[in-house]
Structure 1
Amino acid sequence: MTAIDADPDALEAVEAYSTTTTTDLAAAGESDVVVLAVKPDVVATVLDELDLSADQTLVTVAAGVSRSFVADRTDATVVRVMPNLAAETGDMAAAVTRDGLSEDVRELLATVGEYAVIDEALMDVSTAVNGSGPAFVFYLIGAMKAAGMEGGLDPEQAETLAAQTFKGAAETVLRDERSVDELIDAVCSPNGTTIEGMEVLWDSDVEDRIVEAVGAAERRSAEIAEAFDDE
């Protein structure tokens, strides 16, 4: 894997994960798959200097930049991806556009987590769910940690139990054929502790607030995309 960046400090930060690092953008012409991971405001500038051929694939992860904007500026096949923070640990959730998706890109995404293939029209809501989603989950983990500490656990104990519980529950959802509601029922015993807690959640508006949070992030994603297209 070759890492390319104009900033030597940025290259130094990824040196341990790369076969080669360089400031020479022409090196991208030697790769079958090129990942464009830059801020939206410099996408056009980089594409103007990036000389790719029709037999290459360009994966863009620039938020708010449409696939067509990139495709109009390169001969390569373009795929748009919205990854998230957990790519660092191999637990990424990513949304990837159906158009342009190749087996090479599928293999690349699979090495760092799970992905869902979507129509690009759904990229804003996908950005809200999986791109912004880690922050929402961190918030919920923090709330469970606080509850554990209030009950007497020390901060490290409470954080470990809360975070690992989220991790285990997420793995169960991904691997188990039962629905989320069926999994909740499986944990809830009649007159048990879980059903008591779930009654509080069911009687609250917490689900509505989560839906509102995702909706707010989705709207902001659409606003950013619209502003970029208008420039």
Structure 2
Amino acid sequence: MIDVSVIGCGNMGSALITGLSEAGEYHITAYDVDPDAFERIEQYADRTTTDLADVTDSDVVVLAVKPDIVPLVLEDLELDADRTLLTIAAGVSTDVVAAETDATVVRVMPNLAAETQNMAAAVTWDEPNDHVAQMLSDLGEYVVVDEDLMDVTTALNGSGPAFVFYLLGAMADRAVEEGLDADDAETLAAQTFKGAAETVLRSDEDVETLIDAVCSPGGTTIEGMEILWDSDVDAVVGDALSAARERSAELAEEAEK
């Protein structure tokens, strides 16, 4: 049983609490300054508290607050050297957090799919941390990256779900315009994205080869792909990712001032 505390019960903190609860093998303490924040996670947390001192005995303390709140929390958070402080604040480097605590600091960029244990996460650490590795595995898939790549992972898997929601919505909306029921269109679009993503994860083939596998000569798919290939949609999607990465870098600069 891993004792975990989550500081901040907003969208990401709540997703982590829910996912870890569903995974089992965790004793979860949820902390927030606002008691109303506990309503959405009360059934998943073993304990809720507004007293920061209640989290200090946990094996892993997750700092799930907005970047500008991080310094305020760290001022009052006292952790021993045998604790792990896992920070998920976008743009806040490991060094910035480590300078304010005796705990071992691990930086993770997760996403909201932690709630359903389908999270994509990037982690940076000085050396592998067994507790954190177990948590990330129970919540989905993770990769280990160097600290200087955290800005791009923030854009890719942190902001990425919003980009996917946008594309999914565009496909569903056009299907509705073509006559499909709205709920049916959303179900088919969502399951199509889910199935395609699972295929990529399980296949040894690259994305281009998988596209070719769906495209029969003279068929329907290649007709649609010709529209995409002739457009600049790949550049637009790439620009969206780059904009998110640049904002993450800006947040890092602000946090270090």
TM range (shorter): over 0.9
The count of residues paired between Structure 1 and Structure 2 equals 230
* Identity %, equivalent residues: 65
Instruction: Give SS of 1:16's match.
Output: coil
Structure 1 partner of 2:113:
86
Instruction: Check whether the contact 1:78–1:100 (CA below 8 A) recurs between aligned residues.
Output: no
State the TM-score, normalizing by the size of structure 1. Answer: 0.95
Name the SS for the 2:43 alignment partner: helix
Task: Identify which of 59, 63, 69 aligns with 1:32.
Answer: 59
Conserved 8 A contact 1:51-1:74: yes
Deviations 1:117-170 (A, max 9, x none): 111101111111111111111111111112211221011111111111001000
Q: Which residue of 2 aligns with 1:209?
A: 236
Which residue of the other structure, out of 121, 131, 134, is the alignment partner of 2:161?
134
Residue 8 (1) aligns with residue 35 (2): yes
Which residue type is aligned with residue 168 of structure 1? G
- Alpha-carbon shift at residue 27 of structure 1 (Å): 2.0
Secondary structure of the 2:107 match is: strand
> Which residue of structure 2 aligns with residue 70 of structure 1?
97
Give the secondary-structure state (helix, strand or coil) at the position aligned to 2:48. strand
Per the alignment, residue 157 of structure 1 pairs with: 184
Q: TM-score normalized by structure 2?
A: 0.86
Q: Which runs of 5+ in 1 are unaligned?
A: none
Partner of 1:51, secondary structure, is: coil
Q: Please state if 1:191 is matched with 2:218.
A: yes
SS in 1 for 2:120: strand
Higher relative contact order (CA 8 A, sep 6+): 2
1:55 aligns to what? 82
Partner residue of 1:219 out of 238, 246, 249: 246
Per the TM alignment, residue 91 of structure 1 is displaced from its structure 2 partner at its CA by 1.4
Tell me the distance in 1 between the aligned counterparts of 2:158 and 2:179. 34
Kindly provide the amino acid, as one letter, of the partner of residue 54 in structure 1.
A
Deviation at 1:104, TM superposition (A): 0.8
Structure 2: unaligned runs, 5 residues or longer: 1-27
Secondary structure of 2:56's aligned partner: helix
- Provide the C-alpha distance between the structure 2 equivalents of 1:14 and 1:158, rounded to a whole number of angstroms: 30
The CA deviation at 1:95 is 1.3
**4+ residue runs over 6 A deviation:** none
Partners of 1:47 and 1:101 lie apart in 2 by 23
With over 3 angstroms needed to count, the CA separation of the structure-2 counterparts of 1:66 and 1:5, relative to structure 1, is same
| Pairwise CA distance, 1:100 | 4.6
Letter in 2 for 1:185: D
Q: How large is the RMSD of aligned CA atoms in angstroms?
A: 1.3
